[in-house]
Structure 1
Amino acid sequence: MAISYQSFKKRADIFSFEYLKCIIYLIDTNSENQILTKKLYTHLISASHLLEDFLDFHGAKNNRDWFFYRELSATMRHLALSAYSQKHILNRLGFYEFKTDDKIFKKESCDTLLTIQNFLQITAPVILKQAEKLGIFIPEIKYKSKHFPDIATGECLEHNIDNLDNKDQQKKNIINIASDFLELIEKFEKFAFYEKYDKKQIKELVPLNVNEVEIRRFEMLLHNLQSAFDSYVIPSGYQSDKKLKQLRSHFSIVFHILQVMGRLLHFYERHLHNIEFKDVYKNVNEILNKLINPDILLDIAINYCLFYAWEFLSSGKKLTFEILDENINRSSIKVGIPQKRGFHTRPSLLIAKIVNHYGGQVKMLAGEGEFDASSVLDLQWAGGKIKKENIQQVIFKGDSRSLVDLKILANINYGEDLIGKSIPLPKELSYLK
C-alpha cells in the first residue's frame, strides 16, 4: 500500500532531524585543517544509519523523488564509519607499542583522515539542498563544538589488576593466538606490495582482486584474534611483557586499517563503481562520482590501507615467531629418512610446510650437522650430506606440536612410495594438501 507524500514527509522530518543537525554542523565547521572528533562521527553514523533504514523501509530505493536523498545518507554513513576508525588510529598511535616510530605513517594517517573528512564536508551542502528541495524541516537549533569534545589523551589510569596465577594456561593461549596470526599473515600475503600503485593499476585490482568481501573477511579474522587475546591473555597479565603488548598493537592497528578500507571499498563498489543502471540510478551515480572522487578514494584504500596493513602484518611476523619460541613446549624425536630417494623436493616441502604451519622453531640434526626444518633449501642441502655419509636416522628438535605431525609424516615415508610417487596423507595432515 502506497503512503501519501505528506504522511511520509512528516516521518522523514522526524528521522532527518538529528541527521541534518550534524550536516549543518559540518557545513559550519568546514575547515581544511580542523580534525573532527569521534563523538561527532558517532552522532553522524547513528543519525545517518537511522535515516537510511527509515528510507529503505519505505522503499526510497525505488522512488525517483527520494532515491538521491537515500544515497546521500548512505554516503555519509560509510564515510563517517571510515573516518571514525581512522580517527581511532590517530588517537591510539601514542599508545601502540611498535619497535620503530614511523613518522611517515603518522603523517599519511592524518592526511587520510583529512581527505575523508573533506569528502564529508563537500557532501554536506548537497544534502542540505536536497532536504530543502524535498521540503524537509531544517532544524534551527544547531550543534556547537562543545557538543563534540575530543576524548584523546596521553594519560591513563593506573594499571593495578593482574592475575598471574595461571601462567601455563596463558602460554597455551599465547601459542594458539600467535599460530593463528601467522596463518592469517600467510593468507594475506597475496595482497603484499612494496611500491605504491598508480591509478590504472588500482582500477585493475579493484574490485576484481581486492574487494570488500575479501577485506572484511580478514577484518573479522583479526577481530577474532584481538578478542581472543583480550579474553584469554590480558586477564592473566601482560603489561610487563613488551613483546605481547607489541603483538596486541599489531592486531589492533591492522584491524582498524581494514575497517577503514572495508567501508571505503563498500562505498565504492556499491555507490561509485560504474555499472549500468536505469537512468535515475545512473544520474545519481554520476553526481556521487563528482562529489567523491573515486580515484582519490581508491588511492586511500589501496596505497594507504592495503599498503600499511601488509606493512604491519609483515613486521608482526618476526615478532610472532619470537613470542612462539619463548612459549612453545620443546622436545625431540628420532626418525628414519625417506626411503630410496632421501630428502628430495617432496619430503622436504612437506616437512617445511608442517613446521611453518605451527610457526615454532624446529631443527633437523643429521650427523654433526644442524639444519632449519622450515627451509626446503636447507633440508635438501641436508639430504646431500645424509646420502654422502649414509645416515639412516635424523633427529628433529623444537616445537612439540610440529614434532607430532613430523612423526606421522615419517611413519608414511614422508608422503611417498618407494618409487617416489605421492601417497594419500592421513587426516591429521590434511592441512598440507
Structure 2
Amino acid sequence: MTVHTINDADFIKFLSPHVRSLINISRYLANHSEPRTIITRPLLMKFLAQATKAEELLDMYGASRNRNWSEFRMLVATIKRFSDVSYELIHIRKSLPHYRLLTGVEEFGRATDDIIRFTGRVLTNAAKALAEYSDALGFTISPRQYRDEDYYENLIIGRLAKNFENLKNADVAKEVALLSTKFLGLAANFDLRNIIEAQSPKDYDSYMYSPISEENFLFLEQSFHRLQSLYDTRVSRTNTENEDKDLIVLRGHISVVMHILRVASSLTHFYERHLGTQRSLLAPTGDSLVTSITLLLYINSYSVYYLKHFVLSARLLCQEMLRRYAQDTEIELPIPVFRGFHVRPTVLVSAIVKHYGSKVTAEYDGVEYDPETPLSMFSLNEFVNQKKRDHISHIINDLEEVNKVYKDGELENKCRDMLYQLYSENKIVIYSQPLQLSKMLSDDLTLRQNLTEEIKRQMQIGCLDVVKEYKVKFKGDQRVLDDIKLLAECGYGEDPMGHNIPLPDRLRYLRR
C-alpha cells in the first residue's frame, strides 16, 4: 500500500488552525514579564487542552519520525505534560487546608510551592521554544491579545454550609475496620514499600534498577483512587463521619497520596520518554528546557519523600483506629509442623501483628508470649521442644532392649535402627536423609540414654523433629487473629518439610 507523503507547506496549512491557540498562549506566556502570576488553573486547563489536541494530530501524521516535526512534537509534549503536572500541584496547594494532614503541613506547603516554581519554569521555557520554533517552521499565526485578568483565579474565602441531610447511618466500627484495613494493605503493598525504602536514583543507570517507575506509580495511583471512591461510596454524607472524626482525616491522607502519585507518574513518564540517558532536554535553539538530574531530584525529594511521609502517618492513624474498635477474642492454633516457631513462621506472625498495630498475646502452658517479638516466640519454641523431647522419651522407654549398653559399631547400628523404627511408626520425622549420626554416642550410656541425647542433638541442628501436635492460644483483635489463623491453615508459609509455599492473596501484604 502506497502512503501519500505530505510536504511541510501543506502540513503547516492544515495544522495552523488547530495549533493557533496553542502558539498564541505560548507567545503570551513567553513574553510575559511575570509568567508565574498567570500560571493558574484556568490558563493551564486551556494550555493542556490545546497541547493534547495538537499532540494527537501530530502523532496521527507521524511527526515523531520526521526530522522537521519531531522537535515541534517534543515541545508540544513538554507543554502538555508540565501543564498537567502544574495543574495537579496547584490543586494540592489549594486543597492543603482541607486535607487535615497530621504532620508536616507547613513543610509540605513550602515544598509544593518550590516544585510549582520548577514546573512553571519548564513550562515557560517550553512555551518560548515553541513560539520561536513555530516561526522557524513557517507558521503565520495572527497574534491574539490576552488579558491577565482572564486567567486570574480569584477565589473567595470559606466553604458552603453543610446543610444536606445525611444518608442513613452506617456501622462506624465496620466502616473504620474496612477503610483502615484497606489502607494498611496498600501501605504494605510490595511496590509501594520498595519505592519508599529504595535508595534515591541519581542517574539513568541507577533509575533503571530502582522500583521508581511510571508503571509502579500508575498502579498505586489507581489503587488509592479506588480506596478514595470506596470512602465516598460508603462513608461520605453519612452520620458515620460525625461519629469518628478520624475518618475525614484518613480521607484527606488518601486524597493527598493519590495526587502525589499522579505528580510522580507524570514526572517519571516525562523522564522515561524524553530524557533517559540524556543529561538535558534541549530546545531546537540549543537552550536547556530541563536537566535529567533536576527532574530526578524533584521526583525523589518531593514525590517519593512526601509519599512516604503521608503513607506512614496515615498507617499509624489506621492502626490507632483499629485498636479503638478492636473486637477481642481468642483462638487455639497448631504450632508449626516444621521445627515449630522457628524463623520464617515467627517473622510472618510478627509481621501480621505489626501490620495491624493491635495488642496480641500468645499463651502456651499458662505462660504468655509476645507474638510481635520474634525472640519471645523463639523462647516459646524452646518450651515446646522440651515437651517434644519428654514425649519421645516416654515412647523410647517402652521400646525393647533400650536399657542395654552397646559398644562401638553395634551402638551406632542400634541407634540408627531405633531411629528409623520411630520414623516408620511416624513418631519422628527425619529431614536430612540419610541420617548422619553425631560422633557423640557413648558406650558408657544405655541405648535409651544415647537415643534421647541423639534426638536432642539432631533436633538442635534441624535434621530431625518429634511428631506431636501442640497448640498455642492467641488472644487479641479478631481481625489480627483471622489473618494468623489463615497463615496457620497455610502451614505458616511452609510445607511439612520446611519448603516455602505461596501465601494466599489476603496475606499479600506479607510478601517482600
Please give the alpha-carbon distance, in whole angstroms, between the structure 2 residues aligned to 1:305 and 1:428.
28
1:124 aligns with 2:127: yes
Indicate how the Cα distance of structure 1 residues 181 and 340 shifts in structure 2: closer, same or farther if over 3 A, else same. Answer: closer
Please give the alpha-carbon distance, in whole angstroms, between the structure 2 residues aligned to 1:211 and 1:286.
28
2:42 maps to which of 32, 39, 42: 39
Please give the alpha-carbon distance, in whole angstroms, between the structure 1 residues aligned to 2:324 and 2:166.
20
Residue identity in the other structure for 1:132? D
1:141-156 superposed matches below 5 A:
141-150=144-153, 152-156=155-159
Task: State the Cα RMSD in Å.
Answer: 3.5
Please give the alpha-carbon distance, in whole angstroms, between the structure 2 residues aligned to 1:268 and 1:322.
39
2:473 maps to which of 391, 395, 402: 395
- Map of 2:117 onto structure 1: 114
Indicate how the Cα distance of structure 1 residues 251 and 410 shifts in structure 2: closer, same or farther if over 3 A, else same. Answer: closer
1:325 maps to which of 301, 313, 323: 323
* Of 154-163 and 62-71, the range deviating more from structure 2: 154-163
Please give the alpha-carbon distance, in whole angstroms, between the structure 2 residues aligned to 1:342 and 1:296.
52
2:195 maps to which of 183, 191, 198: 191
* Of 129-138 and 45-54, the range deviating more from structure 2: 129-138
2:181 maps to which of 175, 179, 182: 179
Please give the alpha-carbon distance, in whole angstroms, between the structure 2 residues aligned to 1:139 and 1:302.
42
* Of 59-68 and 346-355, the range deviating more from structure 2: 346-355
- Map of 2:24 onto structure 1: 21
1:34-433 superposed matches below 5 A:
34=37, 36-150=39-153, 152-161=155-164, 163=166, 165-168=168-171, 171-186=173-188, 187=190, 188-192=192-196, 201-209=202-210, 210-237=212-239, 239-240=241-242, 241-274=244-277, 290-327=288-325, 329-338=327-336, 341-355=339-353, 361-366=359-364, 370-384=368-382, 393-407=471-485, 409-410=487-488, 414=492, 421-422=498-499, 431=508
Indicate how the Cα distance of structure 1 residues 153 and 330 shifts in structure 2: closer, same or farther if over 3 A, else same. Answer: farther
How far 1:393 moved relative to its partner? 4.5
Equivalenced residue count is 423
Please give the alpha-carbon distance, in whole angstroms, between the structure 2 residues aligned to 1:5 and 1:216.
37
Please give the alpha-carbon distance, in whole angstroms, between the structure 1 residues aligned to 2:247 and 2:61.
50
How far 1:158 moved relative to its partner? 1.4
Q: Is the 8 Å Cα contact of residues 281 and 288 (structure 2) preserved in structure 1?
A: no
Any unmatched runs of 5+ in structure 1?
A: 277-281
Q: Is the 8 Å Cα contact of residues 365 and 396 (structure 1) preserved in structure 2?
A: yes
- Map of 2:399 onto structure 1: none
* Of 182-191 and 265-274, the range deviating more from structure 2: 182-191
Residue identity in the other structure for 1:229? Y
How far 1:318 moved relative to its partner? 0.6
Please give the alpha-carbon distance, in whole angstroms, between the structure 1 residues aligned to 2:507 and 2:311.
26
How far 1:174 moved relative to its partner? 3.7
> Secondary structure of 2:34's match?
coil
With the length of structure 1 as denominator, give the TM-score of the two structures.
Answer: 0.84
How far 1:10 moved relative to its partner? 2.5
How far 1:242 moved relative to its partner? 2.8
> Secondary structure of 2:12's match?
helix
Please give the alpha-carbon distance, in whole angstroms, between the structure 2 residues aligned to 1:117 and 1:189.
31
> Secondary structure of 1:65's match?
helix
Q: Percent identity?
A: 28
Residue identity in the other structure for 1:138? I
Please give the alpha-carbon distance, in whole angstroms, between the structure 1 residues aligned to 2:32 and 2:278.
35
How far 1:171 moved relative to its partner? 4.2
Indicate how the Cα distance of structure 1 residues 212 and 361 shifts in structure 2: closer, same or farther if over 3 A, else same. Answer: same
Residue identity in the other structure for 2:363? L
How far 1:428 moved relative to its partner? 7.9
> Secondary structure of 2:94's match?
helix
> Secondary structure of 1:234's match?
coil
How far 1:203 moved relative to its partner? 4.4
